Structure 1
Amino acid sequence: MRIFHPLLRLLYACAILFTSACGGEALANEAEVFLSDVFNERVFYHYQGWGGIGINQAVVPPDGRAATPLQIGEQKYDKGLGTHAPSEILVDLAGEFASFRADAGLQTQAIPEGSIVFQVFVDDRKVFDSGILNSRDPIKKVEVPLEGADILRLVVTDSGDGITCDCANWANACLVLSGTPRKGNPSSSQMDIAPFAHVVTSAANRNEGTHSNRVQEFHPDDIYLEQPVPRQTDGTYEVPIWTENRACIGLTWAERRFLREVGLVFPEGQTPPKADNVTVQYWTGESHWQGKWVDADGKFTQDGNQWTFRFGGGQGASIPSTGTEKIRWIWPSKPIRVQALTAISRSRNEKQAITLESEPGYDEEVATIEAYNGHFPAQGDQEKGFKTRWDLSQPKTLDVVCTSAMPWKTDRTVLNFSTPRGAFAVSMEDILNKGGVFVQDFGILASPAKKAVSLKEYKKSLDSRKKVLDQVREMPDQTFEAAFKAVHNPIQNLGPMMLSLACDNWKFAAHREGMIEFDIAPDDPHQSWGSWQPKYRMHLIVENRDDTKTKRFLEGEWLPIPVTVQTCDNGITIAHKTFVAPLGEPLELSPWSYTKPLCLALYTVENPTSGDLAFKMGYEFSSTQAVELKLEKKDGGIALIQGSRVIAFLRAATIPDSAFTISGARVDISHPLASGQKVELLAAIPGWEFSAQESIPAIHTDEMEQATRKYWEERLSESTQIDIPDPLLSNIIRASQVHCMLAARRDPTDGTIAAWIASDRYGPLESEAHSIVLGMSRLGHEKFAQGSLDYFIKKYNPQGFLTTGYTLMGTGWHLWTLAEHFDLWRRDGWLSKNASEITRVCRWIAEQTRKTRRPELDPAEFPEMGLFPPGVAADWNRFAYRFALQGHFSAGLSNVGRILAAIGDPNAASLQQEGENFRQSILKAYQWSIARTPAVQLKDGVFVPASPSILYCFGPTGDIFPGEDGNRSWCYDVELGSHHLVPTGVIDPGSPEVDWMIHHLEDNQFLASGMGDYPGEKSQADWFNLGGFSKVQPYYTRIADVYALRDEVKPFIRSYFNAIPSLVSLENLSFWEHFHNIAAWNKTHETGWFLSQTRTVFVKDDGNELWLAPFVTSNWLDDGEKVAIKNAPTHFGTVSYTLTSSIRNGKIQAEIECPSRSRPEIINLRLRHPEGLPMKSVLVNGEQHKDFDATREIIRLAPGSKTLLVEAHY
């Protein structure tokens, strides 16, 4: 996903402390214990938003640097905990302590920008709140009573302004022992979570997980690291014996668990084995597959036929505070059986009663309810159990033993409902804390029995509430102007701009303040995870510049010719214009590149005041290399010399030599300017080797600028032409195509195009690059797209997949994009030439899905069978069965099979069948997940079944994996959530599952606080303008594509418009990677998907039907306005049309040039009256036409002739 690396670098900088020797404080008496000394024993849950916990030191940076001493203000500490907001630390008190005390405050840092809030909770009751603290605030003394308490929770929040520099210290944190400690915990409150695990065995001598990294194929033996141990007919488990006669049996959970103790119970009548050399191990690492087994520290006891191991209490490794997904027992043994395994969680149990009621109409149905992380207690004739049945014709009161609310959600009690109409789940926490859960699509209400409400009463309470989408559908179209006013942050306008010729390797960067970065060699196009690192800089020096008056814009409003106008305090203005001119001859393999690309910076200095003034400016050159640079006068100008090369030169024909002062690699200029006078200067940087022996040629700047303008107009003339009434959006569309070509490089050996996903970093990543390829292909840039696809085709590796170092998912994304490109351009010869290689990659995908199929496993228990092995989809390095990843591989496999069938390839049918098998496996796994993941509440008060993004993640990723991936794990439910299964063709866009997805996205996830500029409170207050897009990387989220597939006009328009101003720069019209100009500039992955969505505004392919103007806003069809599209590629050939509004005369006209390559069955033309009036009649080529739908605002046309003239009357 490439998320906010510059922000991480800033956080690193903030974590650099003022280093000095630390002093410390001794404990007041022996009844006190430092929390840092008993961290392993007492802290059983911890997460934080950045870095690692610091034990007697500040937060541990995640980049491997050593942590620095604890310090708050001038006070230094030897003892304490260093963490980073947001953070939670849970301490097991067990009733043994009287009080807690600490000094709380921000860590002293080089950049004092943090602001945080410290909070203390005792048994979930808040007992301390510091208020907002920053680096200037004094130390906050914390002292709270703990007598008889079970759990101490230490919380640090980010105060609502982001987590930059939020390094927090609980210094001298200590616990004071109680004089009257409580004796233990009642066993009835303890929760045994063994019933919710798989009983397994694993190779006793294997202590590590997979050795495959994020871009390597999974070894078949690593997919199932454990094997199930079946329960025998007598209820026991036969413990497998491994090498060296070592028995091994254990438990694996879907989630990380927080364990107090584990046990083994041996059958009555069987002599338990000797307890010599018993080892209990827990799993630690990034995921179920990435990690290792570690011997646990704790206390072992044997009582009759039961072994018990209680974690902690020593100096060794206890269960980590992030939990564990699996534990195992290993001991020397002969064949033996175990009656049961136990695993006591840190959670507490409580008994609660709930009332269930069903809507009428389902009297014949019976639901099965299964408790997860809980059970149904013995009641009357009914024994304690995990399943019960409910006759929906009658309300039911149900007792449930469930977990008390805890910060971690992996122990949360969930009730899984299975009905003849489908399955869903609800959490006991929601039932008890939200006044009930009404899952409307299944007509079922669950409410707390103590405050039971009837279904009728519950529904009545929802009368005035509405979902976001319901309101969007009722409102007028969003406007681009309103979206910009509400969404855009002016800081996005800042940042540099890359300049070059299209896909050329000679790169230059023009900065706002006038600096130009460059190199003296072409860039390497093949870098991945690397970055463009120019070694030379030309600094513009302007004396007394007033930066508040600086303005920047693009020449011609979209051309790659940035113009900056600076104003000095005395009123003098300096305008500088920078561009790369195409000099020399076109290269044979790369006709858009020239032999002599020349970067030109033109400066106009003007005195617009009424008096005479003097201006002072200059240029200074520098290099990151140990080279000698010197300026010297040459051929009527000044040349920058390095060795035997001229690497830049300056000219100023109207300024005398006496105005220039040269010193090394710097030249200063001082010159008087009369009122109204202007002078011009030129800086030129050649993109080729220019010998110091050569004469500097004459440069005619006007001709160069005109040649550059013509060059880029020709590049865009080859693409789709879009003419709309919104000039700003028109220019963003044009500039975006240019920015994709500016960021791209070419392989000089064959001319193929390396589609870099940003101008300055990351390189041509195999995943995100295909956003660019798709967007450019869909907007008519066939040569760019095909050259980019050829670049990746040649990079297929011998194993059969594609990666440039980021993901494996890019293999599927690539194939899916390749298929769409073929559909648009239908180059049969090109596909035939590459068919064998493409097929080889498809076979590799199919082979990977076979690795997860195991005939000995029960598909009901192992829903991953038939899926692609676990992996990553973006930055987060946790391996998982991610549905977005599965969807991309499925789309690639299925769509390649389809296009190969179009050219008669013999492999097509088998690939299509493999693709369909894969799709069905994904669907089954997704339905399995929905049935076990708690439903979510919408704005209208109803609950809908969940939309899980990861198999075995029974809740939001931010809840199940808190703090992971730099505290961004939550966004993988959104940016890379399960909605990706819709555009990838796995799930029908009209299905109920998609209804649930989009409502959850709009009502909850799009309005939650994200990364940067859009806190949740602000988004919820202005939900129409600030909703509709995700809050980390909007163009990873496919919500607009889902709306397009569902033909949701107003929601599409709103999402399309609202996302653009969140990332775009109004000065150079490029897209940033993140909000608040964070991370990569000119992030072309975002640009590419914007272009793809733009094409959907005007043209949409839908099977054998073609849609024209499907999402054109009615605001563009006011009287006298025109929308014109020319040469738009479609699955049927190129199409052109013009819409002309004459609503004053009651009509809108359309002229359509139909595609000629093949004929769609139907052309759907959407014409939307700006006042919402319905169509009354339609003429086609002068004759009455009856096939139109006034409600949907479409006219269905049979393309019988090349040109169709349509007139809709209102």
Structure 2
Amino acid sequence: MLGSLQAQTPANTTSAKLPTLEEAVASRSDLWGEAALRQPDGPSYEFFEKLLPPPRYVNADFKYYPIVLSAPNNKVKARLISNGSGINLRAGSRSWHDTGTPVTFRVGPDEFLFGGLRDRLSEPTLAEGFLPIVEIRYRHASPWQSEGLVPVDQKKVYPVPEIYRLESFAGTDPALADNGVVFTKFSLAQGSNGIVTVQVGAPGPLKFADGNVTDEQGQVLACFDTRWKWERQRAQARLTPNTSATLAVPTKPIPVSARFEFTAATYGQEREACARAWRQILAQGMNVETPEPRVNNAWRQLLIQNFELINGDRVHYSAGNQYDQLYEAEGSDAALAMLMWGYERDMRRLMVPLFDFTRKGLEFHQAGFKLLNLSRYYWQTRDAAAVKELQPRWEKEARRLDENRTGPNGLFPKERYCGDIATPVYTINANAKGWRALRDLSAVLAEVGEQDEAQHYAQVASEFRKTVLTAIGESVRRETTPPFVPVALYGNEPPHDPICNVRIGSYWNIIIGYTIASGIFPAGSEEETWIPRYQEQHGGLCMGMLRAGGGAFNFWTGEHRINPLYGTRYVLDTLRRDDPEGALVSFYGMLAQGFTRNTFVCAEGCSLAPVDDGGRFFYCPPNSAANGHFLSMLRSLLVQDWDLDDDGRPETLRLLFATPRRWLNDGQTIQVEHAPTAFGEVSARVQSRLSQGEVSAEVELPRRQTPRQTLLRLRVPEGWQVKSAQVGSQTLEIDARGTTDISGLKGKFTVRFQVEKHQ
């Protein structure tokens, strides 16, 4: 039962009463998203934050979501339970994979489970807001005079309860990374008399010598500094305000022959090395600084998470659970997001396993992704050598799409409706995406000098588009407004209304975005908005995120759910059609209600109904594609490179087209450095001096290629208007939305905008 949970009205919102959760999920429109649009300066994190408690719980014995800890790209990954109860704890559920030796943390003389009571537990935080060095605090008072020496004239006292502080991270030293060593430090944030107990949950008797806990085979399962004592097959340390106790837990046991030496000093050295390693990785890509620290922390941590989830050269969907594997669509989304942030060498190596991946019954679906990945990679890098090196792989997929349009009406043979639904259909997604893949491949081949093949695939794509549009026209259901576009072409798929009323409708909602992104409908046509408008008007969205569920498919997460990661194409299309406010609903809805607080962990699916006032269920976190979804959104709020003339070649660059208006409040700065685009790197630094009637934008345009059209926009706060713009002595035209055409400018320059406040 949802009950009538009343959404808490956020500060600085309009005074209208917000819909309850029950009202929000019953509505065919996105009531909370619409309310966000009515707020001053539009959607915000603060508006969405108080509507629901955050994702927190998982279907595992440890209940609280795990935080994956790993060196970059490593195959051995540990999990820290987010309430601080332990490392590599057993899940007890078929959805989760157990790894390493479970190590449990207890506090106080009564050895109470760390994090056992939520009301005494803090939210986990990350060092500097984004580094994978996790701190968790837990309040647990030590009994006063517990040793029994109680004076007969005892006076009532109010001792300060102990607050235990745990800090954990994975070592990045190559000598340790392959064993997935997690370093942990305990200290007191408050109080004076703390006790920490560590249980190493290996079968059989354990031995403790020289600070090492070993199993019967002599393998090292844990290492402790000199503050720990061993008793009752447990390690225990006393803490005072000025002391700490450290340990190291290898996820893969360390052979005694490795001679790993651990001391209190080791912890600090490894912590510094960990922070340095991750900063170096972040420095390789685009840098973004916005006026919102939470946004800045999010993009950094999400990139770090995805490097933690990469397994060698395979970008896995998750880690430590049933999704700890490669998937074509979701893996491509995660990899492409990293490409958009400048990790081009990583995209190059990640593409190979994505090309080699196959799953029976989805071959045409997969082929489209593989070719589109290559096309996007080429336009950003102009790496003709990679196109040549990968030719055996892309040629195989191109021929698959070219030579197998053998179904009735010229479509591909039937495939699975989607990965989870085996029902065979003539799927719109595979066919629309297949057309786009062939068309875009032809443009790439023309650029690298393969003119004959380019011409062949261009001709095939031109004919195939007509075939697909005919099939859509003959399959669309017009009894709804807007018309319903089915996944199953010529399959008599009825309109799903409301969309999530049954399971198949939920799957339609989360996969139909592949057709949106294909661009199969001509730009500016009525048809191009049929799918997104249907989602918006028939129950497909909540807080800008795609909904899923259905009364007959409630699983353990509840009947009403969101699947944020599959909204990438909906949001990017919203931005292509230049609807920034609509995109910002999705952006802030995801940031506030798709992620955990502070740690930015997401999952494939998340319940809307809370378990309690502390959180909601979500399924098998973390999730690399969900991380990629947010990264793609943020990048596209700031920098967009588009093929708007529909020829397969990007020609338009749009800068700062969808930034939140509050980001240009007086005194604020937006900075984008080394943003990769299809034309080369672009940088911009915008400083708002509204009180002086000016906003300045320092811009450095791409040098490799000049876009046919380059546009710059200033989205100033409500009540303000951009009146004019100048570069040196040159006056630029400004439209009503604060947009100016800077196509005639080159290199580095400063645009000075004059702004006025409405009277």
Equivalent of 1:986 in 520, 530, 533: 520
Equivalent of 2:198 in 619, 635, 647: 619
Change (3 A) 1:846 1:1167: same
Q: Which amino acid is 1:759 matched to? A: A
Render the CA deviation track for 1:669-711: whole Å, top value 9, x for unaligned. 264x66x454323234275743258363545222211111010
Change (3 A) 1:843 1:500: same
Aligned residue in 2 for 1:1048? 579
- Within a 5 Å distance, the mapping from 1:226-625 to structure 2 comes to 472=37, 476-486=41-51, 489=54, 491=56, 494-512=64-82, 513-517=84-88, 532-542=97-107, 543-544=111-112, 546-551=117-122, 552-570=124-142, 571-584=161-174, 598-605=181-188, 608=191, 613=193, 615-623=194-202
Deviation at 1:872, TM superposition (A): 3.1
Aligned residue in 1 for 2:294? 728
Equivalent of 1:790 in 349, 352, 370: 352
Cα contact 2:74–2:178 (8 A) shared by 1:
no
Aligned residue in 2 for 1:417? none
Task: Give the Cα separation in 1 of the matches to 2:167 and 2:723.
Answer: 54
Equivalent of 1:757 in 317, 336, 348: 317
Aligned residue in 1 for 2:508? 973
Cα contact 1:757–1:768 (8 A) shared by 2:
yes
Cα contact 1:1010–1:1032 (8 A) shared by 2:
no
Task: Give the Cα separation in 2 of the matches to 1:819 and 1:713.
Answer: 30
Matched, 1:1206 2:751: yes
Change (3 A) 1:1071 1:468: closer
SS in 2 for 1:894: helix
Change (3 A) 1:807 1:644: farther
Q: Which amino acid is 1:948 matched to? A: P
Matched, 1:927 2:473: yes
Aligned residue in 2 for 1:1121? 668
Q: Which amino acid is 1:650 matched to? A: F
- Structure with higher helix content: 2
Equivalent of 2:342 in 759, 780, 791: 780
Deviation at 1:1009, TM superposition (A): 12
Render the CA deviation track for 1:634-682: whole Å, top value 9, x for unaligned. 2xx132234132232222x345x4xx3143xxx15264x66x4543232
Cα contact 2:604–2:619 (8 A) shared by 1:
yes
Change (3 A) 1:804 1:681: farther
Task: Give the Cα separation in 1 of the matches to 2:372 and 2:719.
Answer: 38
Cα contact 1:756–1:769 (8 A) shared by 2:
yes
Aligned residue in 1 for 2:411? 866
Render the CA deviation track for 1:1045-1102: whole Å, top value 9, x for unaligned. 1111211222222233332011421212211332210111111122112211111112
Q: Which amino acid is 2:466 matched to? A: Q
Deviation at 1:1111, TM superposition (A): 0.8
- Structure with higher strand content: 1
Aligned-residue RMSD, C-alpha: 3.5
Matched, 1:1134 2:681: yes
Change (3 A) 1:974 1:1169: same
Cα contact 1:1122–1:1140 (8 A) shared by 2:
yes
Cα contact 2:680–2:704 (8 A) shared by 1:
yes
Deviation at 1:1135, TM superposition (A): 0.8
Aligned residue in 1 for 2:147? none
Task: Give the Cα separation in 1 of the matches to 2:23 and 2:711.
Answer: 47
Task: Give the Cα separation in 2 of the matches to 1:1195 and 1:507.
Answer: 48
Aligned residue in 2 for 1:915? 461
SS in 1 for 2:732: coil
Task: Give the Cα separation in 1 of the matches to 2:739 and 2:418.
Answer: 38
Deviation at 1:555, TM superposition (A): 1.4
TM-score (norm 2): 0.81
Q: Which amino acid is 1:556 matched to? A: E
Moved more, 953-962 or 1090-1099: 953-962
Cα contact 2:548–2:562 (8 A) shared by 1:
no
Deviation at 1:479, TM superposition (A): 1.5
Deviation at 1:724, TM superposition (A): 0.1
Task: Give the Cα separation in 2 of the matches to 1:961 and 1:1192.
Answer: 34
Q: Which runs of 5+ in 1 are unaligned?
A: 1-114, 118-158, 164-465, 520-528, 586-592, 747-752, 797-801, 854-863, 937-942, 1017-1029
Count of aligned pairs between the two proteins: 669
Task: Give the Cα separation in 2 of the matches to 1:1144 and 1:601.
Answer: 49
Q: Which amino acid is 1:1161 matched to? A: R
Q: Which amino acid is 2:620 matched to? A: A
Deviation at 1:1108, TM superposition (A): 0.6
Change (3 A) 1:618 1:1185: same
Aligned residue in 2 for 1:352? none
Task: Give the Cα separation in 2 of the matches to 1:515 and 1:1164.
Answer: 51
Task: Give the Cα separation in 2 of the matches to 1:1009 and 1:1188.
Answer: 32
Aligned residue in 2 for 1:455? none
Render the CA deviation track for 1:317-350: whole Å, top value 9, x for unaligned. xxxxxxxxxxxxxxxxxxxxxxxxxxxxxxxxxx
Aligned residue in 1 for 2:732? 1186
Aligned residue in 2 for 1:321? none
Task: Give the Cα separation in 1 of the matches to 2:183 and 2:85.
Answer: 12
Equivalent of 2:407 in 852, 855, 858: 852
Q: Which amino acid is 2:479 matched to? A: A
Render the CA deviation track for 1:448-483: whole Å, top value 9, x for unaligned. xxxxxxxxxxxxxxxxxx999899599842122212
Task: Give the Cα separation in 2 of the matches to 1:743 and 1:784.
Answer: 13
Aligned residue in 1 for 2:373? 817
Cα contact 1:1063–1:1074 (8 A) shared by 2:
no
SS in 1 for 2:215: strand
Cα contact 1:648–1:686 (8 A) shared by 2:
no
Matched, 1:1036 2:566: yes
Deviation at 1:879, TM superposition (A): 1.5
Cα contact 1:873–1:884 (8 A) shared by 2:
no
Change (3 A) 1:629 1:984: farther
Cα contact 2:184–2:248 (8 A) shared by 1:
yes
Q: Which amino acid is 2:504 matched to? A: S
SS in 1 for 2:635: helix
Deviation at 1:549, TM superposition (A): 1.4
Matched, 1:680 2:680: no
Task: Give the Cα separation in 1 of the matches to 2:280 and 2:348.
Answer: 18
Q: Runs ≥4 in structure 1, deviation > 6 angstroms? A: 159-163, 466-471, 804-807, 959-963, 1008-1016
Q: Which amino acid is 1:844 matched to? A: R
SS in 2 for 1:876: coil
Task: Give the Cα separation in 2 of the matches to 1:952 and 1:756.
Answer: 35
Cα contact 2:663–2:669 (8 A) shared by 1:
yes
Render the CA deviation track for 1:984-1018: whole Å, top value 9, x for unaligned. 121134221233333322222235899999999xx
Deviation at 1:566, TM superposition (A): 1.5
SS in 1 for 2:42: coil
Aligned residue in 2 for 1:669? 236
Aligned residue in 1 for 2:658? 1111
Aligned residue in 1 for 2:16? none
Aligned residue in 2 for 1:288? none
Change (3 A) 1:484 1:916: farther
Aligned residue in 2 for 1:57? none
Q: Which runs of 5+ in 2 are unaligned?
A: 4-20, 26-30, 59-63, 143-160, 551-559, 607-615, 644-650
Q: Which amino acid is 1:917 matched to? A: E
Change (3 A) 1:1137 1:503: same
Q: Which amino acid is 1:944 matched to? A: P
Cα contact 2:411–2:431 (8 A) shared by 1:
no
Equivalent of 1:648 in 206, 222, 230: 222
Change (3 A) 1:532 1:744: farther
Deviation at 1:924, TM superposition (A): 1.0
Change (3 A) 1:687 1:973: closer
Task: Give the Cα separation in 2 of the matches to 1:1051 and 1:518.
Answer: 41
Deviation at 1:741, TM superposition (A): 0.9
Equivalent of 1:741 in 275, 297, 307: 307
Higher relative contact order (CA 8 A, sep 6+): 2
Answer with 1 or 2: which has the greater Rg: 1
Matched, 1:766 2:322: no
Aligned residue in 2 for 1:999? 533
Task: Give the Cα separation in 1 of the matches to 2:686 and 2:379.
Answer: 26
Deviation at 1:779, TM superposition (A): 1.0
Aligned residue in 2 for 1:71? none
Change (3 A) 1:596 1:116: closer
